[in-house]
Amino acid sequence: MPTGPSAYLVGRKAVQLTDSGTDVTDSLIAAQRLDKWKIVNRRFRHTTFANVSFMDTELKDTEFMDCAFLNCYFRRARIVTCSFVGSKFYGCEFPKASVQSSNFRYAKFFSCAIPFDEMEHNLPPEPNLREEVALGLAIAADERSWGAEARQYLLSAIAAREDHLVAAVQGRSTWYKEHYPPLRRLGALLALAASKLNGQLWGHGERWTVLLRNLIILAFLVFPALLWFVRSELQVAGDGTLQFGDVLWLSITTIVPVSAVSSVSASGATSRAVLTFEAFAGIVIGGLFVTLLLRSVVKR
């Protein structure tokens, strides 16, 4: 039995699409050029579009229910207030396409990507559905080596996932109350906390700036403040007077693997514990930086 996109070619009668307003159901529209057509207020259900060109086509107020689009071409197509509920897109091209106020609930995208700016406001409003569609588009964009687009879709999917978990914890609707009893709410709360921590620590592995920001805050603010608080346990070589600049340099050389050595040493248990924890934080952040670097290299 055929699987994948070829399954949508089976059992559907081949037809030629006309510009009349009749509904089309359980049909196959293949190798047809619909360039510059105006398809307005039409209904297509369980219909497969295979190798169809929609170049410069206007699709407006039209419903595509559980349809499949196989290797279709949407160059400069204008898609306005259309519904693609449950539809599948395989290997389609959307160069310079415009998508406005359309419904993509339960839609799936395989090996075809749409610029994030065009789809951002067309993603489903329900967080669990928005996560699914955004994640599919992130994978499709990554396959095309659209690194920036894939990152935006992935972050959108993560944000949707967190919205979904918040709604589950709060029991925001009847559906969430029925599907998330107290024990599952606790699991959702833990998953939400882990996701938030991941985002704060290194931007879910997608944002160099978050990790760099945290390194700067730890090296220049948090640990210097802790060390200054226990400065009675710090000693300067040569019995010099301890200055805050000395503490700051000690913090930087501890968290960042540099060859420079600080003239300040720790003589007490508390100060040593602070420096040990800072060194461990530096190792973790360094590992995360390496992971980000490897990810960027692999995606090229």
Cα 250 from Cα 142, distance rounded (Å): 42
Residues of the chain above pLDDT 90, percent: 55
- The pTM score is 0.73
Architecture of domain 1-112: 3 Solenoid (2.160)
Beta bridge partners of 50: 30, 70
The pLDDT tens digits of the residues spanning 69-107 come to: 999 999 999 999 999 999 999 999 999 999 999 999 999
What's the alpha-carbon Rg for the chain, to the nearest Å?
28
122 vs 291: CA distance, rounded Å: 32
Please tell me what DSSP assigns to residue 99.
E
pLDDT recorded at residue 1:
43
Residue 85 φ then ψ, to 5° = -60, 125
Q: HSE on the CB side for 69, CA within 13 Å?
A: 25
Q: Which residues contact 187 (CB under 8 A, 6 or more apart)?
A: none
pLDDT in tens, 250-287: 899 888 877 667 888 888 899 899 989 888 888 888 88
pLDDT value for 196:
87
Q: Which residues 6+ apart lie within 8 Å of 174 measured at CB?
A: none
- The CA-atom distances, in angstroms, between 4 and each of 12, 68, 90 are 15, 11, 9
Give residue-wise pLDDT tens across range 116-153: 999 999 999 999 999 999 999 999 998 888 888 988 99
Quick one: 13 exposed, middle or buried, by C-beta within 10 A (0-12, 13-18, 19+)?
exposed
Distance CA 247, CA 261 (A): 12
- Residue 119 tokens read as 């789809």
- DSSP secondary structure letter of residue 33: B
Just give the CATH number of 208-299: 1.10.287
Query: CA–CA separation, 166 vs 145, rounded Å?
Result: 32
Distance between CA atoms of residues 141 and 135, nearest Å? 10
Provide the angle, in degrees to the nearest 10, between the axes of the packed helices 208-217 and 269-299. Answer: 170
**Per-residue confidence (pLDDT) for residue 131, from 0 to 100:** 95
- Residue 23: partners with Cβ closer than 8 Å, 6 or more residues away: 42, 43, 44, 45
Helix (H, G, I), strand (E, B) or coil at 131: helix
Residues 6+ apart with CB under 8 A from 88: 5, 8, 67, 68, 69, 107, 108, 110
d(CA 222, CA 255): 12
Quote the pLDDT of residue 295.
67
Sheet containing strand 43-45, edge to edge, reads 24-25, 43-45, 63-65
d(CA 203, CA 222): 20
CA atoms within 13 A on the CB side of 248: 7
Domain ranges of the chain: 1-112, 124-203, 208-299
